[in-house]
Amino acid sequence: MTSPVELVRAMKEIVGEQHVIHEQNKLHVFSCDGYVARQALPRAVVSPANTEEVAAVVKWLHEHQIPFLPRGAGTGLSGGAIALNNEVVISLARMNQLLSVDFENLRAVVQPGLVNLTLTKQITGDGYYYAPDPSSQSVCTIGGNLAENAGGSHCLKYGVTTNHIVAAKFVLPDGEVIDVGQPYGDAVGYDILGLVVGSEGTLGIATEITVKILKKPQAVQTALAMFDRVEDASNTVSAIIGTGIIPAAIEMMDQLAMQAVDKSNFHVGYPPDIEAVLLIEVDGLAAGVEEDAERVVEICRQNHVRTVKIAESTDERALWWSSRKMAFGATGRISPDYIVQDGVIPRSRLTEVLQRITEISRESGLRIANVFHAGDGNLHPLICYDSRVPGETEKAIRVGSEVLHVCVDVGGTITGEHGVGIEKIEDMRYQFRDEEIEAQIAIRRAFNPNDLCNAGKLIPEPARCVEVKQARRIIEQNVEVFSGFQEQTAVTAPDSTS
Amino acid sequence: MLQTGSDYPAVLVEPADEAQTAAVMKRASEAGWKVKPIGAGTQLTGEAPGERVHIVLSMGRMNQVLDFSPSDLVVTVQPGVTLSELGRVLTAEQKMLPLDPWLPAASTIGGIASTAASGPRRALYGGVRDMAIALRVVYPDGTVIRTGSKVVKNVAGYDMTKLFVGSRGTLGVITELTFKLRPLPLHRETVLLFGSAEDIRLMRSKLVGSVLIPSRAQALSSFDEPTGVWMLAVDCDENERSAQYQTEQLKAWATEQSMSADVLQGSAADDWWEAMGEQALGADLVVRLAAAPTNWHDLAAKVAEFATRYGVDVRQSWAVTLGIGEVFVRGLAPELATQIVTELRTAATRVNGTVVIKHASAQVRQGVDPFGPIGRAGVLFERIKHQIDPGRTMSPATFAGGI
């Protein structure tokens, strides 16, 4: 066993005295991320300055069999950066540089700690931007976006993080540094980058990330449409897409969400008697965008919109977007506590699923506000509860799970962009069969054989694995006896219980 | 007919469904038989020669479109559906899968996904990895796994879909694929610009620095044209007014550079692209290069210089906003084929690019690795292969790094 003193000394030798936090009172900041329902203290927080330091830290921890996990801004919503095993947290916050930009080839190379919006701000003067735009983009990091395969409001047209990251320098859980992906064209061989993006820090740590940058669209038009009935709003979404226009974004909020955002600093003044509001944005060449916007307005009218309006100024557009992007935070103004969920459904099932959510809300007695990326069918039900009422937290978690199961039942998924982390790890079993979970564990084993890197996140253990684990423990406790045929036992153990 | 790269006789098995596929795989794994899944077999001439295969598993009978939901922009198909058949089904509902690799019409969607084949439309829409959202895969031991989810956004678990896309049948047998779709463009317009490679280099620079939205931007040198004449084809999938604006801008730049221009619309544009793809099919050697787009011009010059040096018929096609080029060579001796691949690889590697063979005779592929160096991510290839296919049942030694 490595003593805490040895650990801290070794870490300080690699990253420097001032970049290691180990005092209990200072570690509390790192006890959770954007998911606050669970907390755990890391044994230390280490902030390396570059790839070499990350590799050296990981190598040392691997050699001493100490668990670790990477952390960006800590804004993740599913608990992926919580040190459940008292991991050493490797904070990428210091690695926040834009390393290079190549406008002619539409690429930027960034360190993982660079804030998403900062990248766009640094290239906006030249007319470029980075497309994925999670609501937290003013604080979340590109490294965190890579780990979570973050989405955002504009991924209907432009795709999610995995469509925008093309290559990365990647530190494997044993400290080896590899290159994944290819800045142009395809990487030769298996798409390792494809596995790494969205792996929630369980396969290793990206230390240099090459992303696509895009030219800013010449023109943007944004419409705000208010509907008496949710069904009409849903039909509008389908009709717009059916007509052949892919808007840059189509966002929807229901009445409760409107009430919440109107209590925030961004007051739009939504009428209290409408059921749904749509925020629809089209972009492209100026010559054609106006026509698309007119089309959108016309389709809203055909679907019984109460009022529809095109933003007259950038200020008005910014207000509408701020109102939408503040939705999660604003929920705090109508409820002491809330859980934000992240299911995805086929767009055509929207009305039906919203009805189910209303029923779940009524049955449980908990209010649910709905904010979502309607174009993608990505729902964010905000389940309101009061943690001071005994049992209500558990009830809210149960309700969240129920909502996700509805999404899976109609052919969707439990998470579209927030990740599984620890929050939805049990819901994975609802979506995937045991052998599918086993197949994902096999991938983790290929990268992370000792399971030191963010263990216990993303992929649950298959039911039968509990027995296997017991067998493994016996093997581990009797290493000398079994060491002669370790490989054989590794192969036979799972089969013996199947 | 079947170019499996193997001199040994193999049994051709054509499963009717996933259950049969799984049963075949289970038997093969138990018996130690090596299995090679294929689609229409149009891309087998791009693989490493590989080890002896006992079973060639043809997915051609599994050729149904299983589920098509136009309003969700999602389609689920069996692997044996041809790209052209799928196109017909989607077009009927004004939708498209924007995959347009230059391959024979018989090519199947399973084969295209397994090789991650892409074409000019990748410029705007991305490749197979960007469109495939869910798969069903039969593992070597007969286990059936679902990857991803049939909705357009999903981050539950590892993105296993991407692992199987482009894995060339070395990990499992794909039995079902789900893709996200795009609306068929409301208006189709292609601008053709003619000039020297240098003219096109300048034009590319203007295009990339502009707000224009090219859905295809392909620089082509032709077998038929005199040496040195190039053409840049730029598409716009936006609405008519936007397309007009783009066309006017391109024509204005053409005038500035004294390039001639031509405009094709609607089905004339479609037919033109189809003809381009067909022209590419007769080549003896097809090589794909990729590097930073600003390097395309230097690499294209290397290719042209080789062609002049040895007097061979070479045609080039470059996606100039992506930096992906395809070189089609006719009437080439195997020794020269090996040499051109090696020379191009040296040139591309210098600028951190890659060169892979898409099509060549078995003799050529024995002389030079079709895939080339695999880089440091290669350490994971063996480990992943071992986790999924420990018995090395699937297409052994046909892929990059000897996988």
Distance from CA of A430 to the nearest CA of B (A): 11
Q: For residues B147 and B19, state if they share a domain.
A: yes
Distance between CA atoms of residues B243 and B259, nearest Å: 20
Q: How far apart are the first and last CA of chain A?
A: 34
The token duo for B207 is 């295009």
User: Among A180, A215, A250, which residue terminates a domain?
Assistant: A215
Instruction: Write the CATH number for B99.
Output: 3.30.465.10
Q: For residues A376 and A236, state if they share a domain.
A: yes
**Selected residues 263-292 of chain A with any CB under 8 Å from a CB in chain B:** 284-289, 291-292
Provide the sign of the torsion angle of the four alpha carbons B150, B151, B152, B153, taken in this order. Answer: negative
Q: For residues A211 and A225, state if they share a domain.
A: no
Q: Are B291 and B323 in contact (CB under 8 A)?
A: yes
Q: What is the mean pLDDT of each run of 10 residues along chain A (498 residues)?
A: 93 98 95 91 98 98 98 96 97 98 98 98 97 94 98 93 98 98 97 98 98 97 97 95 94 95 91 97 97 97 98 95 89 92 94 95 97 94 95 95 97 97 96 97 97 97 61 58 41 34
Question: Measured between CB atoms, which of A104, A373, A458 is closest to B294?
Answer: A104
Q: For residues A243 and A367, state if they share a domain.
A: yes
Instruction: Write the CATH number for A14.
Output: 3.30.43.10
Flag whether pLDDT at B223 surpasses 60: no
Flag whether A257 is in a domain. Answer: yes
- A285:B211 CB<8 A: yes
User: Among A51, A76, A91, which residue terminates a domain?
Assistant: A91
Q: Residue B168 is part of which domain span?
A: 1-184
**Cβ contacts from A onto B, under 8 A:** 270
| Structure ipTM | 0.96
Q: Are B132 and B166 in contact (CB under 8 A)?
A: no
Q: For residues B160 and B299, state if they share a domain.
A: no
Q: For residues B214 and B350, state if they share a domain.
A: yes
Q: For residues A188 and A147, state if they share a domain.
A: yes
Q: Residue A279 is part of which domain span?
A: 219-409
Pick from A190, A192, A353, A373 the residue to mutate for testing the B interface (most B CBs within 10 Å).
A190
The predicted model gives B154-183 an average pLDDT of: 98
Distance between CA atoms of residues A219 and A248, nearest Å: 11
For residue B379, which residues of chain A lie inside 8 Å, CB to CB? Answer: 172, 176, 178
Quick check: pTM over 0.80?
yes
Among all chains, which residue has been given the structure tokens 């492209």? A284
The token duo for A171 is 């530190």
Q: For residues B81 and B163, state if they share a domain.
A: yes
Contact of A360 with chain B, judged by CB distance below 8 Å, is answered with: no
Flag whether A444 is in a domain. Answer: no
Q: For residues A37 and A176, state if they share a domain.
A: no
Q: For residues B82 and B63, state if they share a domain.
A: yes
User: Among A409, A439, A454, which residue terminates a domain?
Assistant: A409
Q: For residues B73 and B222, state if they share a domain.
A: no
- B145:A186 CB<8 A: no
Q: For residues B83 and B124, state if they share a domain.
A: yes
Flag whether B401 is in a domain. Answer: no
Q: What domain count does chain B have? A: 2
Distance between CA atoms of residues A64 and A44, nearest Å: 15
Q: For residues A64 and A104, state if they share a domain.
A: no
The predicted model gives B10-18 an average pLDDT of: 96
Distance between CA atoms of residues B275 and B264, nearest Å: 13
Q: What domain count does chain A have? A: 4
Q: For residues B326 and B221, state if they share a domain.
A: yes
- A446:B378 CB<8 A: no
How far is Cα of residue A106 from the mean position of the Cα atoms in its chain? Answer: 25
Flag whether A173 is in a domain. Answer: yes
Higher pLDDT, B3 or B58: B58
The pLDDT, as a whole number, for residue B9 is 67
Distance between CA atoms of residues A243 and B130, nearest Å: 23
- The string of pLDDT tens digits covering residues B256-302 is 999 999 999 999 999 999 999 988 888 999 999 999 999 999 999 99
Q: For residues B173 and B288, state if they share a domain.
A: no
Q: Are B111 and B37 in contact (CB under 8 A)?
A: no
Strand, coil or helix: A337: strand
**Selected residues 236-255 of chain A with any CB under 8 Å from a CB in chain B:** 238, 241-246
- A445:B381 CB<8 A: no
Q: For residues B291 and B145, state if they share a domain.
A: no
Contact of A419 with chain B, judged by CB distance below 8 Å, is answered with: yes
Residue A206: closest CA among A252, A228, A253, A173 = A173
Residue A439: closest CA among B170, B160, B37 = B160
Pick from B137, B155, B344, B383 the residue to mutate for testing the A interface (most A CBs within 10 Å).
B155
For residue A444, which residues of chain B lie inside 8 Å, CB to CB? Answer: 158
Flag whether A41 is in a domain. Answer: yes
The predicted model gives B352-359 an average pLDDT of: 97
Flag whether A459 is in a domain. Answer: no
Closest residue, chain B, to A163 (C-alpha): B130
* Residues 6 or more apart in contact with residue A339 via CB below 8 angstroms: A37, A382, A383, A385, A396, A397, A400
The pLDDT, as a whole number, for residue B281 is 87
Phi, psi of B241 (to 5 degrees): -60, -40
Q: For residues B21 and B124, state if they share a domain.
A: yes
For residue B94, which residues of chain A lie inside 8 Å, CB to CB? Answer: 244
Distance between CA atoms of residues B316 and A147, nearest Å: 38
- A155:B153 CB<8 A: yes
